Structure 1
Amino acid sequence: MSEMTPQERGDLVEMLLPQAAGLVVDVHDGSAQDIQERLRGLSRHELEALAVVLAGLVDPDRSLGEALRWVDFDERGEPLRRTPARTVVAVREAASAMPCGRPSVRVDEVAVSRALAPGGGEVPLNQRERRLAVQVGIRRGMTHAQVGERLGMSVDAVQRSWERWKGKGLPVRSVA
């Protein structure tokens, strides 16, 4: 959206407000199919703009609990138990606690699991995913050679990565 003029951005927002409102209603009262149908007709550019419009509808100084008060069930349809730590934090505070940056530097844990799976083929991993894959592979009991083979790394590179991580004393995330 940065290549658009202010007038073009304003026109796009005006065009997407009904879609944003419709998506809000679909999420609250509709079905997964309703949501899919609404989003299916939008281009990637429009979807990105829609995310910005929806974010503009949220007050960042409200607590997460207030923002999600209408949600009273979990992903399995079971009644939701709210935890005070999650409900008191403001949206703005939760955002500052989240890592931000380019999607390319985020970790795709599914890709990490696939890369470590037998016969998983060559799964492209970024640097952070490769580091995580080494940690997870070793923690799963794989040898340095097995991890290296699955990730396309030398045994020495796997050992160096593992030793650097152990030397930092940081916890290793688990990937199912």
Structure 2
Amino acid sequence: MKKTFSLHTEPHVADVGGKELQFLPEVMGDQFMDAYSGLIEAQRAASGIDLEDLATVDSNKLRGAARAMRAFLAELMLPESAGLFTRLNVVKDGKVLESFPDRVDAERFADEVEGGGAVVVDAFPLPDRILVQLLEWVVELYGGGADERPPTSSTGSATASRRGGRRGMGVPSSRA
């Protein structure tokens, strides 16, 4: 008996609003678990977030949780997609003044903008629901939860084999 295992060689692609984010074709278990552990630690640090009462939650904790999700996802992306996904812009009066890969540097720059009023925003803004959907998809891809064969794969649409033995002789409920 021979069993063949295939490795993904093409990047996984998430189309988000017409922009493609490319993820690593394969991720080894340690790499995935290290990235996932980082996400868990960041979520633990942001603990105290009561999803039932968001009005009392510190907005910096919510931002931290969203940044942690972005950092986790970016660790599993190809470099170009990761750079886009994590880039931050410093904006004043609707104009992008500078872009940064790191929040600390972006906030430092924003604080030093003459006249104040500069804010740090994601260069690739996404609603939280999209971040959560991407997170779930990636966990399925790399955590072993989903079989990502292309639909044209010969085994992608194979029907299940019949069980051995005699067919049941019961009367179908539709005839009763």
Normalised by the length of structure 1, the TM-score is 0.22
Structure with greater proportional helix content: 1
Structure ID, larger Rg: 2
Structure with greater proportional strand content: 2
Q: Which is bigger in relative contact order (C-alpha 8 A, separation at least 6)?
A: 2
Normalised by the length of structure 2, the TM-score is 0.22
